[in-house]
Amino acid sequence: MPTSIALLLQKYILKITNGRLNTSKNSEVRVFERVMRLKISICKCTLSGCVAEILRLKRLRHMENTTS
């Protein structure tokens, strides 16, 4: 079960950061690092913690889009 949640989160994070993936290698590496950190810590976090992380990433993306 934790693996399937991690895969869903990975797909969702890549979806919400898709506009950033093609801009530079650095942003692609950052997204990959975030996904890997989520995969490593997925067993420790609750579902609400995962949702909070997704919302945090969405806010970060929104802030990056409005400043550029």
List, for residues 25-54, the tens digit of each pLDDT value. Answer: 566 667 777 777 776 665 555 566 667 777
Look at residue 51 in the predicted model and tell me its pLDDT: 72
Look at residue 1 in the predicted model and tell me its pLDDT: 45
Q: pLDDT: is 58 or 24 the higher one?
A: 58
Which CB contacts under 8 angstroms, 24+ apart, belong to 61-67? Answer: 61/16, 61/17, 61/19, 61/20, 64/20, 65/19
Percent of the chain, pLDDT > 90?
0
Cα–Cα distance for residue pair 16/56, rounded to 1 Å: 11
Residue 17: pLDDT over 80 = no
Q: pLDDT: is 20 or 13 the higher one?
A: 13
The neighbour count for residue 53, using CB atoms within 10 Å, is: 18
